[in-house]
Structure 1
Amino acid sequence: MTTDTTLNGVKVSYKPKSEKKAEPKKSRDFSRDGQKRVHYGKGQSKPSRPSRTHKSRTQSATPDKNYSPMSHLLKDPRYCAIDILHKVEKGQSLSELLATEMRELNDSNQRFVQHLVYGALRHFDVLSFQLTHYLQKPIKSTERQVYLALLLAMYEITEMNTAEYAAVNNWVALIRAMNKEWAVGLTNGILRKVLREGLQPLPKNTAKVSLPKWLSESLISHWGVEKACAIAEQFMQHPPMTIRVNPLQSTRDAYSALLDDAGVDHQVHAHSDSAIVLTEAVPVSVLPHFDEGISSVQDASAQLAAVLINPQNDDVIVDACAAPGGKTVAMLERNPELTKIYAIDSVSNRLKRVQENVTRVFQDELADKVVLSANHFENFTADEAVDAILLDVPCSATGIIHRHPDIKRLRQPTDIAVLAQTQADLLDHAWSMLKVGGRLLYSTCSILKEENEGQMQAFFAAHNDAKECELSLPFAEREAYGYQILPVFSEQAEKMDGFYYCLIEKIDG
């Protein structure tokens, strides 16, 4: 029986499957087009086919000489994130990698990668804790890129505003494109399980699972479990954008009104007369009159340096580690009647940023008061007696991990002793050039006692011509020597980076 149907407007006849079995098989003596086949006997040769006018399959499958799987992957934003994270683990700086490794990506994908990498680094240890729960066995160290891909993927599907299952499919496709077939099912299974079940609850001591072991132990030892956990949790948050208002051009309240007019949501800082905290970060081009020097981007903790050193008329000041120039500019804003500021940095490109900031904020007559010196501070000598020295020394930067989350991966416990020795050497050199009656402000963006209170204890023990000056910093922890600001957002320390300050006066010994 033949059945008729219509497909796309065309009448089609077909026989049911049961009737088709009864049809006789076509003879092998006929080709598909019904032509009778010619059989050649033993010793007979088959005539050659006429040449084809179209390209052969081999020719059409020849790949482009300029194509390579790796170049194709580099255009994938998620692979770019894996690559950057992998290089951070090998010791490269995140900020430098973001400047050089995203050239193949458009602006939208660059923003995506930056958000993804920063977020994954801030949550790195927590994500590792979560991933361990889902893995039946550890991933081999030789497959580190797969491990990093899983961390990045977990962050994207749990913390970023992307379509969850589309993100899973993208990560699975990327793992396949990386020729990691063994990990395709693993990736798909883990990510879908995370979507179904959610992340595991963290233990009460979050410091232990959100920081490297050596750092969590150090913070717990220095500050106790409660504060260490609060610090660790803050390090996983996006840091605020804070601006400093130039008192030579405006007041904080007047500039706040300009921000209102520009539609920039903000609040004035509770513990600084020049700081305004933005609700969300914005490009500096959005800030009113930024190019005219009316404001600068600087955290409230860092803004304190100029306040505490308190520049006086006719002062000669040394900014020992000046780049990028925020503190140099702030000191001159505080008192344009000072005589001179030596701005010193050993890296010429960093010193160039100091010059750019000075030029943006000041007219020529004030800008000329800043003398740039491309020098290692320990080799620098001033031409005259020095009234004040700002010594913002190289440090572990453990107080600004929320701004530079790669620090958690780059910094090693063995670094601390090396940094402490460098700091001690810089202190001794600074002290040797400071005149009697002069003042030295020692500062770090560290929250480790070895670099701060411990450093000062050793310094005062070795110098009987040194006297600590009392400071009014009620939101800071008062140490045996100096003041520690912890990066814990509260009414006492509202939106401030981790910083340490100790002001020292040189007296007759």
Structure 2
Amino acid sequence: MTPVQLDHTAAVLAQMLTFKQPADAVLSAYFREHKKLGRQDRHEIAETAFAALRHFQKISAALDTPQAQPRLAALCALVLGRSANIGGIKDTLRLNEEETDFLGRLKARKTEFSDGLNTAAELPQWLIDALAPHYGEAEILQFGRRINQPAPLDLRVNTLKGKRDKVLAELQAENVRAEATPFSPWGIRLHDKAAFNRHPLFLDGTLEVQDEGSQLLALLLGAKRGEIIVDFCAGAGGKTLAIGAMTANKGRIYAFDVSEKRLANLKPRMTRAGLTNIHPERIGSEHDPRTGRLKGKADRVLVDAPCSGLGTLRRNPDLKYRQSPDTVAKLRQQQHSILSAASELVAAGGRLVYATCSVLPEENEMQAERFLAEHPEFELLDCAGLLHGLKISLDTGRYLRLNTAEHHTDGFFAAVFQRK
């Protein structure tokens, strides 16, 4: 890292560490404002800023107000998160004596940082308190350490445009470190952080970026050609596109979302993927009258509910500090309301999938059990059995429960219901 890159990293962290906006949005806005920064500059700044987020508990233990001392926070990130040698950076970054002494004391405290669970696991106290009723201290520590490692890049092969084996061979021939994902029959995992959005296979719609866990949610929905399908919280449409490929453009897929901007992002992706049977539609809320025309008519309904996102902390480490018990409580109310409203669209014999990218049982199993208690017209299907029927050897029980430590995916949950 150069002194100029360090200055830019400090400027980014001064905004990021307030946790008022998503970290990736802060970084994107900063890079737009500083167009002269080169590729290597951006890489160094981004890696160090995200290292600061991943090690924020330890940095907070060493600095009273990290956001008010962003240069020191950046230096902490280099030592704690990027294994920088103090002697090496002392001259290159022109550190003064006070900064050098501070980093020496920081390194000496490494054993002390392992004493408290919040610093050892790099988790804020509120999240430890939320996990404690359900998991032991060793499980919480393992969770914190696993999600503190950067995620690989998972891709989904669009089966309308290519076959996984052929695409994988093509990537490997380009010396890309790529392998087939162990569970999803569509997935490819990249171990190098490449800028993939300019690759010809991405540009022509053969490949989409999508975590393997997210691909499994689409597989559990089990969409078939000619069916009426609703993606109730479509967002930018990653799972909508996967569902579209499953139906081979036959049938009708409604992509509902409350955000016009997210749906606008879906439209060019549909075109690139060669899909013509998706109908994006903005709704005001889960109770929007426009959904009423589909009441009792949908063969499949997917509810990828708004959630805390705590299963995606490998990619979004700032979420630990942007969520709280209050935000999770509000999300739980919203999830319950959305799931109830979406269930009304399901036809007799139709399938309803409730999913989150959370690791909190309050957002997952407890929501599913509450839904079943309130809706006796639905029954729970066994996720392990459904996956076995698709020749996917993954058994997490009646519910799909994916975790980073065991499955190397983001944390995902799914419950599959069927209207009797």
TM-score, normalised via structure 1 length: 0.73
Q: 1:171 to 1:419 in 2, by over 3 A?
A: farther
1:287 to partner: Cα distance = 4.2
Residue 478 (structure 1) aligned with residue 397 (structure 2): yes
Q: 1:205 to 1:251 in 2, by over 3 A?
A: farther
* CA–CA distance in structure 1, aligned partners of residues 60 and 124 of structure 2: 11
Q: 1:358 to 1:382 in 2, by over 3 A?
A: farther
Q: Is the 8 A contact 2:301 2:345 kept in 1?
A: no
* CA–CA distance in structure 2, aligned partners of residues 476 and 218 of structure 1: 26
1:345-494 counterparts in 2 under 5 A? 345-362=257-274, 366-367=275-276, 369-378=277-286, 379=288, 380-381=290-291, 383-384=293-294, 385-472=297-384, 475=394, 477-478=396-397, 482-488=399-405, 490=406, 493=407
1:92 to partner: Cα distance = 1.3
Instruction: Identify which of 22, 27, 40 aligns with 1:98.
Output: 27
Q: Is the 8 A contact 1:241 1:281 kept in 2?
A: yes
Counterpart position of 1:109: 41
1:337 to partner: Cα distance = 5.2
Q: Is the 8 A contact 1:206 1:233 kept in 2?
A: no
Q: Is the 8 A contact 2:55 2:80 kept in 1?
A: no
The residue type paired with residue 376 of structure 1 is: G
Q: Structure 2 regions of 5+ residues with no counterpart?
A: 388-392
The residue type paired with residue 282 of structure 2 is: A
Q: Which has the higher contact order (CA 8 A, sep 6+)?
A: 2
1:321 to partner: Cα distance = 1.4
TM-score, normalised via structure 2 length: 0.88
Which piece of structure 1 moves more, 286-295 or 397-406? 286-295
1:116-135 counterparts in 2 under 5 A? 116-129=48-61, 131=62
Counterpart position of 2:411: 498
SS in 2 for 1:96: helix
Residue 307 (structure 1) aligned with residue 219 (structure 2): yes
Q: Is the 8 A contact 2:55 2:81 kept in 1?
A: no
Please tell me whether Structure 1 or Structure 2 has the larger radius of gyration of its CA atoms. Answer: 1
1:85 to partner: Cα distance = 2.9
Q: Is the 8 A contact 1:205 1:229 kept in 2?
A: no
Q: 1:390 to 1:241 in 2, by over 3 A?
A: same
Instruction: Give RMSD over aligned pairs.
Output: 2.5
Q: Is the 8 A contact 1:344 1:372 kept in 2?
A: yes
Counterpart position of 2:71: 149
Q: 1:292 to 1:487 in 2, by over 3 A?
A: same
Q: 1:169 to 1:375 in 2, by over 3 A?
A: farther
Instruction: Identify which of 256, 274, 286 aligns with 2:168.
Output: 256
Instruction: Identify which of 245, 254, 276 aligns with 2:188.
Output: 276
Q: Structure 1 regions of 5+ residues with no counterpart?
A: 1-74, 132-137, 174-183
Q: 1:476 to 1:191 in 2, by over 3 A?
A: farther
1:361 to partner: Cα distance = 0.8
Residue 321 (structure 1) aligned with residue 250 (structure 2): no
Counterpart position of 2:390: none
Q: 1:83 to 1:413 in 2, by over 3 A?
A: farther
| Higher normalized helix content (fraction of residues) | 2
SS in 2 for 1:449: coil
Instruction: Identify which of 49, 62, 81 aligns with 2:9.
Output: 81
1:308 to partner: Cα distance = 0.6
1:461 to partner: Cα distance = 1.0
* CA–CA distance in structure 2, aligned partners of residues 461 and 341 of structure 1: 29
1:161 to partner: Cα distance = 7.0
